[in-house]
Amino acid sequence: MNVPDALRAATVQLAVLSDTPRLDAELLMAHALGLSRPDMLLRQRERDTPAIFAALLARRVAGEPIAHIVGTRDFWTVTLRVTPDVLIPRPDSETLIEAAVDHFAGRAPVTILDLGTGSGALLLAALAQWPQAHGTGVDASPAALAVAQDNAARLGLAARAMFRPGDWGQGIGGPFDLLLINPPYIARDAPLSGDVLHEPASALYAGIDGLDDYRRIAPDLPRLIAPGGMAAIEIGHDQKDSVSALLTAQGLAVAVRRDLAGHDRCLVATRP
């Protein structure tokens, strides 16, 4: 089967489980051909479908995330290696970087702290955005830290990125110009579906109401945020009021930013 026909057939198969069936099919085909997606789209009519495409498609039809199948995910301006040991970076989380870009318009943060770094997505995107900055990524998972360190090396950012095991802000010195924080925020009994079923539970669930980790993070923020700095904190779409209350109780000023879908996604915390 030629590539255009294979893509059409795969899109039909994937439509029952994916919100982006055509994109999924194209990413799998590009991976099978060893091309970037733009190159694959430009050259699709001159290439035959490789035999491996059927196996890749079967994995996606069985529910495996695209990022785990192809091994990478684009985030902001960087491409990251992704494994089942880390959350798959999502466009929603780019809202935190957008908030930081706006806050530091006309200047740049020099010191960055990424709490719950996972794949290193937020920290490495920030370091790519601000070439003079350096930062630290903290995570409780040794496996996640190994992925983050590998991503830093792949992106040529290892000299400006340090990764260390830790329990949120405990034992971390400061202050930092920019804090990037994407903690678990799903309530323990919340039903899940889709790609998150393949991701580490420790990076998803945060107690009976989804707020356990925010409660532990908030008290350290006043000492960790430098004067003129900010913390960008990802939240669930219905957590603006509850998490804002935890932050204002620590004397912080709080503003909310929405993601591209119009959902509350990021709280910006600053020192008054």
- For the stretch 31-74, pLDDT in tens is 999 999 999 999 999 999 999 999 999 999 999 999 999 999 99
Which one is the CATH code of 3-63: 2.60.40, 1.20.58, 1.10.8, 1.10.3470? Answer: 1.10.8
pLDDT for 12? 98
Average pLDDT value over all residues in the chain? 96
pLDDT for 104? 98
Q: Each residue of 204-232: pLDDT tens digit? A: 999 999 999 999 999 999 999 999 999 99
Taking the domains of the chain in order of start, what are their residue ranges?
3-63, 74-270
Q: Which residues of 38-71 are buried (b: 16+ CB within 10 A; e: fewer)?
A: eebbeebeebebbeebeebbeebeeebbbbbbbe
At a CB cut-off of 8 Å and minimum separation 6, what does 175 contact?
Answer: 111, 223, 224, 225, 226, 227, 229
Which CATH code is given to the segment(s) 74-270?
A: 3.40.50.150
Distance CA(103)–CA(230), nearest Å, equals 8
pLDDT for 170? 95
- For residue 193, pLDDT over 90 is answered with no
pLDDT for 192? 84
Section 160-178 average pLDDT: 96
